[in-house]
């Protein structure tokens, strides 16, 4: 996939999926798939126009995301997109709806023949415009607009805000159903304080990404990918209040069946089921017993089942 952070002319005609795509959930996947289908039918290049919120978050503005920018790019590419255009939000947020179409969607930038968005898509300065304005402004440029109806699962529309709410409740099976893949955190294993190893449960620790919203703190049954190999694990997300109160949340995973040193390894931890909330135990002995029980639940867990 070709990426650019600049608003500059493309030399190919495109079918553009447009939106923020936080989480690249099942609803987003429908939008991306529609753009890819039109691209195939009309011999266009499937593209995405989204935007980068990094600078706004650095200023304390905006909300945290479901997934990292890196994972968003990877998932969008896996859905068949060839061109990824992601300028900073500040570079175009002051444009009126009409100017956005002229300066971004037309030959001056994306060279779009087709634009696909969600039915609730808003654009232009202060989000003043919706799908009806998008169709009206795109008409003179010969750009076709397709608005994708919201996907409804279990009686509610699938949205990033809904998934965030479920994530913060620890409803990870629901989160995974709405995403269409397993929620995961990736990173390079860092050195901890070795106290879990001293208890007989060595862990692989990765920092939780600052740009992302934190799941419910607690223990999860997980699946761990290490160099292409998959292992079952038990993962704690939080600050480890019994052994040491970390200032920043850590993703701490005991990988079942692995005793080798994983420091500096790149791993991906996929959450399967919530086991229990993070808690401060009265003694190390109580913590050790709880971890043993967590590991047994992880061993017995079968994909598709729900923990109580």
pLDDT of 257 reads 87
Confidence (pLDDT) at 63: 85
Of residues 103, 110, 108, 98, the one with CA closest to residue 44? 110
Query: Is residue 268 within 8 Å of 225, Cβ to Cβ?
Result: yes
- pLDDT for the residue 128: 95
The pLDDT, as a whole number, for residue 86 is 95
Q: Which two structure tokens, joined as six digits, stand for 96?
A: 């009126």
Tell me how long the chain is: 308
Residue matched to tokens 């294993």: 189
Instruction: Please tell me the distance from the alpha carbon of residue 243 to that of residue 169, in angstroms, as a whole number.
Output: 24
Exposed/middle/buried for 245, CB within 10 Å: 0-12, 13-18, 19+?
Answer: exposed
Residue 308: CB atoms within 10 A of its CB come to: 5
Interatomic CA distance for residues 206 and 196, integer angstroms: 14
Per DSSP, the three-state class of 133 is helix
Q: Which pTM was predicted?
A: 0.91
> H or E stretch including 292?
helix 284-300
Longest CA pairwise span in the chain (Å):
72
Q: Which residues contact 259 (CB under 8 A, 6 or more apart)?
A: 202
pLDDT tens digits for the chain (308 residues)? 889 888 889 999 999 999 999 999 999 999 999 999 999 999 999 999 999 887 666 566 668 999 999 999 999 999 999 999 999 988 898 999 999 999 999 999 999 999 999 999 999 999 999 999 999 999 999 999 999 999 999 999 999 999 999 999 999 999 999 999 999 999 999 986 655 555 668 889 999 999 999 999 999 999 999 998 999 999 999 987 655 656 688 999 999 988 777 989 999 999 999 999 988 887 778 888 888 999 999 999 986 555 43
Task: Give 189-209 pLDDT, tens digit per residue.
Answer: 998 665 555 566 888 999 999
Angle at 61 between CA 98 and CA 123, to 5 degrees: 15
Q: What is the tens place of the pLDDT at every residue in 254-275?
A: 999 887 779 899 999 999 999 9
User: What are the tokens at 53?
Assistant: 């919120």
Taking each helix axis from N to C end, the angle separating 172-179 and 160-169, rounded to the nearest 10 degrees, works out to 160
| 237 Cα distance to chain centroid | 17
Region at 302 (left for phi over 0; alpha for psi -120 to 50; beta for the rest):
beta
Under DSSP, is residue 41 helix (H, G, I), strand (E, B) or coil? helix
Query: Do the beta carbons of residue 11 and residue 47 sit within 8 Å?
Result: no
Query: What was the pLDDT predicted at 276?
Result: 94
Angle at 89 between CA 83 and CA 91, to 5 degrees: 90
Q: How far apart are CA 248 and CA 189, in angstroms?
A: 15
Contact residues for 153 (Cβ-Cβ < 8 A; gap 6+) = 26, 177, 178
For 96-131, letters b (16+ CB in 10 Å) and e give bbeebbbebbbeebbbbbbbbbbeebbbbeeeebbb
pLDDT for 178: 98
Per the CB < 8 A criterion, the answer to whether 239 and 184 are in contact is no
Which domains does the chain show, CATH number per domain?
Answer: 2-150 (3.40.50.620), 156-300 (2.40.30.30)
Distance from C-alpha of 192 to C-alpha of 250, rounded to nearest angstrom: 10
The confidence score (pLDDT) of residue 284 equals: 77
How many other C-beta atoms are found inside a 10 Å radius of the C-beta of residue 64?
14
């Amino acid at each position: 996939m070709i990426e650019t952070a600049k608003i500059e002319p493309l030399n190919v005609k495109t079918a553009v999926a447009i939106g923020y795509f936080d989480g690249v959930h099942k609803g987003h996947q429908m939008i991306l798939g529609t753009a890819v289908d039109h691209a195939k039918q009309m011999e266009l290049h499937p593209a995405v126009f989204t935007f980068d919120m990094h600078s706004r978050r650095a200023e304390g503005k905006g909300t945290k995301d479901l997934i990292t920018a890196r994972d968003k790019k990877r998932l969008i590419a896996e859905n068949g997109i060839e061109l990824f255009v992601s300028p900073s939000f500040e570079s175009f947020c002051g444009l009126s709806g009409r100017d956005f179409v002229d300066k971004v969607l037309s030959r001056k930038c994306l060279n779009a023949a087709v634009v696909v968005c969600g039915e609730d898509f808003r654009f232009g300065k202060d989000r003043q415009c919706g799908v009806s304005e998008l169709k009206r402004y795109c008409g003179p440029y010969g750009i076709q607009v397709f608005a994708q109806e919201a996907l409804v699962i279990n009686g509610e529309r699938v949205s990033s805000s809904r998934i965030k709410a479920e994530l913060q409740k620890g409803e990870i099976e629901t989160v995974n159903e709405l995403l269409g893949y397993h929620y995961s955190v990736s990173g390079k294993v860092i050195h901890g304080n070795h106290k879990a190893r001293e208890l007989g449960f060595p862990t692989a620790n990765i920092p939780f990404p600052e740009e992302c919203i934190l799941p419910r703190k607690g223990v999860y049954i997980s699946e761990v990918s290490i160099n292409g190999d998959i292992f079952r694990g038990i993962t704690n997300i939080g600050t480890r209040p019994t052994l040491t109160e970390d200032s920043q949340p850590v993703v701490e995973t005991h990988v079942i069946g692995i005793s080798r040193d994983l420091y500096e390894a790149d791993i991906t931890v996929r959450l399967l089921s919530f086991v229990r909330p993070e808690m401060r135990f009265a003694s190390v002995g109580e913590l050790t017993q709880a971890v043993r029980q967590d590991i047994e639940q992880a061993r017995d867990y079968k994909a598709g089942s729900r923990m109580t």
